[in-house]
């Protein structure tokens, strides 16, 4: 379903951009809204009314909050109802079966599972609508009175299904002005092609190794192959998600929007504190702004800070999926960040090589916890990582994937970007680089059947 939606995006994008460019400014948001709803309906038609309901509820709540600011109790009820509706939709569709299955296991009941399909992009657009209404309540932004403008913000098709998480304040001016400069167009084309290359040429190629390791079964692999596989997944998830984020930011530029940066070379981090300033930046900012700080942040003493971190990171992990492994993954980072905040960070700041080793080693292990949802398989895989099971199976896979892994590692550091920035002003070199990446990416998409989009399941 997701892959067909992506192919559909490529098919209808040129005509959408053409119409968007030629219509008057006052009609651009309508074109954007219709195109986004059409795209969403193509991928998930039965949940079309749910998205409309989210838009309408937050539109009305924000207007009422703006109109009755002097009535503190009333606007408190309004913000509470809007957030309850947004979170309620997310919890119902994403977590119902998780809670039911755990209740059944705990109490011995036999409540049937709902087996609901997860609405496309619900983890992202519910966070955006919540943030909008909360910002209106805080007085940070004015309520949008034009429902077409608000709806266009919520369903912006470039970032609808996998982020980055965009706040209304990020795009409000562009929604009203629609000023598209030459630089927007140039940057948009570059970012989209680079994002496509990261996703298709790097993530897909290196990620195929982890898929094959899973197909072999963890009980049948050697320790070297287990490490090779999880390193491949660590590279895949970065290039998959950062690649799509870059594509979304590029598409936004082509329409005059400046979406926030979502990744900034996270694997060069020297601590987990730094890593979470570089990885999925918009999600980390959302939880900090709309959960951690409202809970009190670090303003109420060390004990309260730890509790606030615990709640925030449990929520961050659980946001990624309705399974215990995601919750444990979030709690792992809570422990690591708490330890760093308490005493380790000052030593990491002084180190040179070992902070990178410490961060990357635990990160690789954390991605195993993130991806393997079955606890039995997770235990088996961690056992295989450290029981030093011999074998020569890894030689075959290293021979096949060594080039892909080396290329991925090189692109994890800023060296290539710095080199490109020195020559991109040379039009011939720039066109040549972009043309090669685009040609290879399209060729891969045409010929390959392996094209997973990891973050779309969240």
Enumerate the active-site residues: 320
Task: Give, as one character, the DSSP assignment of residue 293.
Answer: H
Residues 6 or more apart in contact with residue 8 via CB below 8 angstroms = 39, 42, 43
User: In the numeric block, which tokens belong to residue 120?
Assistant: 């496309």
Please list the helix, strand and coil fractions of the chain in percent, rounded to the nearest 5, in that order: 80, 0, 20
334 vs 313: CA distance, rounded Å: 6
Instruction: Give the count of beta carbons closer than 10 Å to the beta carbon of residue 133.
Output: 26
Are 288 and 273 in contact, with CB atoms under 8 Å apart? no
DSSP state letter for 265: -
Rounded distance between C-alpha atoms, residue 261 and residue 242, angstroms: 10
Which tokens is 143 given? 């309520």
8 A C-beta contact, residue 58 and residue 140: no
360 token code pair: 């990357």
Supply angle C-alpha 189, 233, 235, rounded to 5: 45
CA distance 307 to 309: 5
Q: What span, in angstroms and rounded, lies between the C-alpha atoms of 206 and 237?
A: 10
Tokens found for residue 179? 């000023």
Token code pair at residue 359: 């961060």
């Amino acid at each position: 379903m997701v892959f067909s939606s992506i192919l559909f995006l490529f098919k209808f994008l040129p005509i959408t951009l053409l119409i968007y460019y030629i219509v008057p400014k006052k009609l651009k948001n309508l074109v954007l809204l219709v195109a986004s709803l059409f795209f969403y309906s193509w991928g998930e038609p039965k949940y079309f009314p749910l998205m409309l309901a989210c838009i309408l509820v937050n539109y009305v709540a924000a207007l009422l909050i703006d109109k009755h600011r002097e009535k503190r109790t009333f606007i408190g009820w309004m913000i509470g109802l809007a957030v309850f509706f947004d979170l309620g939709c997310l919890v119902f569709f994403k977590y119902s079966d998780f809670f039911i299955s755990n209740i059944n296991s705990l109490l011995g009941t036999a409540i049937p599972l709902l087996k609901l399909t997860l609405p496309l992009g619900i983890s992202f657009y519910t966070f955006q609508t919540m943030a909008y209404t909360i910002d209106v309540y805080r007085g940070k932004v004015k309520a949008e009175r034009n429902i077409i403008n608000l709806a266009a913000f919520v369903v912006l098709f470039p970032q609808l299904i996998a982020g980055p998480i965009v706040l209304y304040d990020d795009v409000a001016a562009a929604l009203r002005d629609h000023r598209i400069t030459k630089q927007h167009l140039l940057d948009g084309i570059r970012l989209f092609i680079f994002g496509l290359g990261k996703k298709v040429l790097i993530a897909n190629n290196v990620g195929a190794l982890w898929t094959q390791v899973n197909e072999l079964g963890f009980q049948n692999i050697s320790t070297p192959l287990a490490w090779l596989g999880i390193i491949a997944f660590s590279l895949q998830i970065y290039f998959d998600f950062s690649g799509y984020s870059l594509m979304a930011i590029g598409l936004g530029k082509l329409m005059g929007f400046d979406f926030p940066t979502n990744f900034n070379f996270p694997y060069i981090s020297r601590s987990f504190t730094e890593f979470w300033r570089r990885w999925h930046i918009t999600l980390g900012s959302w939880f900090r702004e709309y959960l951690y700080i409202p809970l009190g942040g670090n303003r109420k003493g060390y004990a309260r800070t730890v509790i606030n971190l615990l709640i925030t990171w449990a929520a961050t992990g659980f946001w990624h999926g309705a399974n215990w492994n995601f919750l444990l993954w979030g709690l792992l980072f809570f422990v690591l960040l708490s330890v760093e905040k308490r005493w380790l960070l000052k030593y990491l700041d002084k180190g040179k090589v070992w902070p990178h080793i410490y961060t990357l080693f635990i990160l690789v292990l954390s991605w195993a916890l993130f991806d393997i949802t079955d606890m039995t398989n997770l235990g088996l895989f961690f056992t295989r990582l450290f029981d030093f099971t011999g074998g020569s199976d890894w030689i075959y896979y290293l021979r096949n994937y060594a080039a892909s892994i080396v290329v991925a590692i090189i692109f994890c550091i800023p060296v290539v970007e710095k080199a490109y920035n020195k020559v991109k002003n040379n039009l011939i070199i720039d066109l040549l680089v972009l043309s090669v990446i685009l040609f290879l990416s399209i060729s891969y998409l045409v010929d390959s059947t392996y094209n997973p989009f990891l973050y779309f399941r969240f």
